[in-house]
């Protein structure tokens, strides 16, 4: 059987599909890393919020003036103000990290779309090859049938002459 005339096209499309799949896998790794970074920032914010809640609950549980002096209350107030400043800074980092994760998700969606297009083109080329092979086989079968018919006729005519 002859070689498919568009074999180069098929190989090229297969190569493009592989490159697109590699891009998808690479982008998934980048997205995972961005999510880990966002989780780390969220964990830092949780620590700050828990510390502030601990100080609030300690004050709410009835810290009396007899058990703490003014300097300790002042230090606690300063500590709470520092925690609020840190929380604001970490919230900004978290916002930036979330935007980064969303950006990476959009890039992944684009890569997936590119992979699907490459896959569809490769599948189309494979369908073309299968149709071509089917036509080639049908032509070959017809040639074989015609050759068999010619052989049968030639045997018939050759036996007629000898009799």
Per-residue confidence (pLDDT) for residue 151, from 0 to 100: 84
Thinking of the domain 7-119, which architecture would CATH place it in? Orthogonal Bundle (1.10)
Q: What is the largest CA-CA distance in the chain?
A: 139
Say which residues have a Cβ less than 8 Å from residue 59's Cβ, sequence separation at least 6: 76
Q: Give the separation between CA 126 and CA 31, rounded to whole angstroms.
A: 33
Contact 54, 117 (CB under 8 A): no
Q: What is the dihedral sign for C-alpha 61, 65, 66, 69? A: positive
Q: What is the pTM of this model?
A: 0.71
Give me the average pLDDT of each 10-residue run along the chain (163 residues).
78 94 97 97 95 82 60 76 92 96 97 96 91 91 88 77 60
Per-residue confidence (pLDDT) for residue 63, from 0 to 100: 58
- Name the region of 62 (left: φ>0; alpha: ψ -120 to 50; beta: rest): left
Q: Give the separation between CA 82 and CA 129, rounded to whole angstroms.
A: 70
Question: In 3D, which of 106, 52, 111 has the Cα closest to residue 79?
Answer: 52
Contact 94, 24 (CB under 8 A): no
Nearest-5° angle of CA 103, CA 105, CA 106?
65
Per-residue confidence (pLDDT) for residue 34, from 0 to 100: 97
């Amino acid at each position: 059987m002859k070689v498919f005339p568009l074999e180069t096209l098929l190989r090229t499309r297969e190569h493009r599909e592989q490159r697109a799949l590699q891009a998808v896998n690479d982008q998934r790794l980048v997205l995972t890393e961005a999510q880990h970074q966002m989780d780390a920032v969220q964990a830092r914010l949780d620590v700050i919020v828990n510390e502030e809640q601990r100080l609030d609950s300690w004050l709410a549980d009835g810290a009396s003036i007899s058990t703490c002096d003014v300097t300790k209350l002042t230090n606690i107030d300063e500590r709470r103000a520092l925690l609020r400043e840190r929380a604001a800074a970490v919230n900004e980092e978290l916002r930036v990290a979330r935007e980064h994760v969303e950006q990476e998700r959009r890039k992944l969606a684009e890569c997936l779309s590119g992979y699907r297009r490459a896959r569809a083109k490769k599948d189309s080329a494979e369908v073309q090859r299968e149709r071509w092979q089917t036509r080639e086989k049908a032509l070959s079968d017809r040639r074989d049938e015609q050759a068999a018919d010619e052989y049968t006729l030639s045997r018939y005519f050759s036996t007629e002459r000898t009799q």
